[in-house]
Amino acid sequence: MTGRTTARDADQVLAEPLAGALRQFARNPRILVAMDFDGTLAPLVDEPMDARALPGSEELLNRLCGLPDTLVAIVSGRALADLLELTRLTEPVLLVGSHGVERSSDPRALSPDTTEQARFAALDEDLAAVLLDHPRARVERKPHSLVLHTRGLSTQDSEAAVHATQEVLTRHTGLVVTPGKEVLEMATRHVGKGAALLDLAAEHEVDSMLFVGDDVTDERAFAMLRPTDLTVKVGPGETTARHRVANEIQVQTLLRTLVELRSAP
């Protein structure tokens, strides 16, 4: 009987040239393996706190972190507290939240000063008024940013909520505004994933790093990384990443392959 190759079977194999690039990356003496969370390890969901990494992915990251000279990090726009709640990763895996502002390796999160507190409160008040007109939209409050979520809304309702928020932003200064997949983040303090990754690489003296992500903020990081680094985009769309995988299942295949390569003599 002839077996049929399913789409899931295909997701278990990495195509060239990514497979070759991964083999070359694994040969570096000291590496950093960094992953976004939502849309990379965890499928996107309507309710942010319902997101979970695909079964087995976190185990692979923990195994990688146990290998010599292999640093592992999750670099996400999520607040650090949310990452701690949503993941089952163990030390020394590093969790970097709020686009680089918060780090599990430095739990002394920088408290907002008086100016930032005032800026945050004023924006929060104006966004509450937006939600009165667009009650199906949601605002997430992080330590240093507010995020408009429109996932699950119709295109018309989503565009209307974003337009109203953009009008609010004309009255506020000192913010870093970042659009994403059905989100609009307004940060009162910002580092950026790219800068955070480069800081980690320098701090831990890695020879090369791998970063895998799917969203707008990940694109900015891809563009900042070094020629010696390996960048992988998850899903469709234009990208500056050097390689691409189709979905979170292929991300898991990538991690499994890297564990095998890095564990080999």
Q: Which two tokens stand for residue 27?
A: 């040969």
Same domain, 100 and 205: yes
Range of the domain at 254: 16-108+192-263
**Model pLDDT, residue 139:** 96
Same domain, 71 and 146: no
Selected residue with higher pLDDT from 35 and 112: 35
Burial class from Cβ neighbours inside 10 Å (0-12, 13-18, 19+) for residue 261 reads middle
**Model pLDDT, residue 243:** 97
What Å distances lie between residue 134 and 137, 139, 140, 151, 209, CA to CA? Answer: 6, 11, 15, 13, 42
Q: What is the CATH number of the domain that holds 160?
A: 3.30.70.1020
Q: Report the chain's mean pLDDT, rounded to a whole number.
A: 92
Contact (CB, 8 A) for 37 and 86? yes
Percent of the chain with pLDDT over 70: 95
Q: Is residue 9, in this structure, part of any structural domain at all?
A: no
> How confident is the model over 153-176, as a mean pLDDT?
95
Q: Does 3 have pLDDT greater than 90? A: no
> How confident is the model over 92-121, as a mean pLDDT?
86
Same domain, 96 and 202: yes
Name the pLDDT band for 1 (thresholds 50, 70, 90).
very low
Same domain, 154 and 81: no
Distance in angstroms between the alpha carbons of the first and the last residue of the chain: 38
Same domain, 259 and 235: yes
Same domain, 44 and 166: no
**Model pLDDT, residue 30:** 98
Same domain, 177 and 203: no
Domain boundary among 128, 160, 187: 187
Domain boundary among 134, 154, 187: 187
Percent of the chain with pLDDT over 90: 82
Same domain, 35 and 155: no
What Å distances lie between residue 176 and 30, 75, 88, 161, CA to CA? Answer: 33, 18, 30, 19
**Model pLDDT, residue 108:** 59
What Å distances lie between residue 195 and 5, 96, 220, 227, CA to CA? Answer: 41, 12, 10, 15
**Model pLDDT, residue 113:** 82
Q: What is the pLDDT of residues 136-164, one digit of tens each?
A: 999 999 889 999 999 989 999 999 999 99
